[in-house]
Amino acid sequence: MTGWEQSSPSLLLAFNFPPHEGGIARMMGEMARRYAPYSLLVSTGTYAGSAESDTDYLQGIDRVPVRAKRLRTVNGLVRWTIRADALARRHRPRFTWCAELKPAAYPARWLRARYGIPYGVFTHGAELLLLDHKLRRSRFKHWTGRKLLDGASVFVANSQWTADYTRRILADLGLDHQGDRVHTVPLGTDPEQFQPGLPTAQIRLTYGLEGGPWILTVARLDWHKGFDTVIRALPAVRAAHPKVRYAIAGVGECRPYLERLVAELQLGDAVRFLGFVPEADLPELYNAVDVFALVSRRYDLLVEGFGIAAVEASASGLPVVAGREAGLIDVVRDGETGLLVDPYSPAAVAEALNRLLADAALRRRMGAAGRRAVETYFNWDRVVRDIEDIEASCD
């Protein structure tokens, strides 16, 4: 690691990191891209393709020789902690970031106890619901959760909803004094990667997006994402706009249920399941449709802590229909960049979609406003600046 000897980097302990996919991994990858060279050292697990992925970064990426998913096990945590200890002795980091509370806070707390290195924790949403569930059922989980959270110098939440829930967890653990250490940093995207005006002929051919107009959702096919609500809204939408179709980009366990729902509602080819769409295809895919929908709602222990796909759609000049719940309230400026709706109501979703599909000028105006919001605020440069400022305040 040429150059590290002269640096005193921050340390990022990340269970989720590229080439792993998902919002947390993407956020951590963007941190690694935007911190100054040699100022952030990343410690994470191993994935297939890790070596190739690591060449994308100017930071040091230290891979624990353990499959990333195994870092949650006792053996994985022990090996990660030993590895983090060796990195701390060699590089003397000034601060440790935990990409997620568990498992990253375990080695972070060890480094704080042994070397006095302060640590901060990113909170994302769904993991808080799971933690809350476990705390109420296990004295041991309650004890370990309290230790990990009490040791943190700062918390960074991805939305106001996540920040409020973080404070609630802290209060339930008797750590009310930690509530003032919770900061809200809404996430963003890359306005150079996602932008309007990209060519769409090839992407339409690849994914069969003929005709239209098209509604699009890009998300993992999980139960809280609201795909079923959009599908149930389609008959009312098609009554007003008979040619409208709905494209679903993503994979996940609820696809069989959604396919049965499409058949039950006799929607035929009005719904197209695109399956896995590589990130490289996403910018053109957003450009090939007319409206983006992400009507996520809380479902069991699942929730939309933020909703990066909605910001990607805004960056691409699309109006967004989103659920008025949890983190999406921070993402969509109701009436300006899109419409917030009751995510449990197909009728409310249909009304919003019909309003946008009937008014091309409104779609353009909201799409342009969404683009401006990304250029001025919802972008990774601003996110990382905020994180760096918070870190500096902990010195």
Question: Chain centroid to CA 109: how far?
Answer: 25
Considering the domain boundaries, does residue 196 fall inside one?
A: no
Q: Within this chain, do residues 290 and 323 fall inside the same structural domain, yes or no?
A: yes
Mean pLDDT for 168-180 is 96
What's the helix, strand, coil split of the chain in %, to 5?
A: 50, 15, 35
3-class DSSP assignment, residue 15: coil
How do strand 271-275 and strand 291-294 relate by DSSP bridges? unpaired
Average pLDDT in the chain:
95
Instruction: Give the model's pLDDT for residue 5.
Output: 52
CATH number of 62's domain: 3.40.50.2000
Q: Within this chain, do residues 370 and 315 fall inside the same structural domain, yes or no?
A: yes
Domain count, the chain: 2
Instruction: Give the model's pLDDT for residue 136.
Output: 87
* pLDDT classification of 232: cutoffs 50, 70, 90: very high
Q: Within this chain, do residues 166 and 279 fall inside the same structural domain, yes or no?
A: no
What residues make up the domain containing 367?
201-376
Mean pLDDT for 225-246 is 98
Considering the domain boundaries, does residue 193 fall inside one?
A: no
Inform me whether the pLDDT recorded for 4 exceeds 60.
no
Q: Within this chain, do residues 154 and 212 fall inside the same structural domain, yes or no?
A: no
Considering the domain boundaries, does residue 323 fall inside one?
A: yes
Q: Within this chain, do residues 151 and 230 fall inside the same structural domain, yes or no?
A: no
Q: Within this chain, do residues 349 and 389 fall inside the same structural domain, yes or no?
A: no
Among the ranges given (2-6, 68-72, 338-342, 369-373), the one the predictor scored with the smallest mean pLDDT: 2-6
* pLDDT classification of 3: cutoffs 50, 70, 90: low
Q: Within this chain, do residues 178 and 218 fall inside the same structural domain, yes or no?
A: no
Considering the domain boundaries, does residue 73 fall inside one?
A: yes
Q: Within this chain, do residues 209 and 240 fall inside the same structural domain, yes or no?
A: yes
* pLDDT classification of 140: cutoffs 50, 70, 90: confident
Instruction: Give the model's pLDDT for residue 7.
Output: 65
Q: Within this chain, do residues 211 and 324 fall inside the same structural domain, yes or no?
A: yes
Inform me whether the pLDDT recorded for 2 exceeds 70.
no
* pLDDT classification of 51: cutoffs 50, 70, 90: confident
Q: Within this chain, do residues 368 and 254 fall inside the same structural domain, yes or no?
A: yes
Considering the domain boundaries, does residue 71 fall inside one?
A: yes
CA distance 375 to 378: 7
Q: Which of 30, 85, 138, 143 is nearest to 379 (CA)?
A: 30
Instruction: Give the model's pLDDT for residue 42.
Output: 97
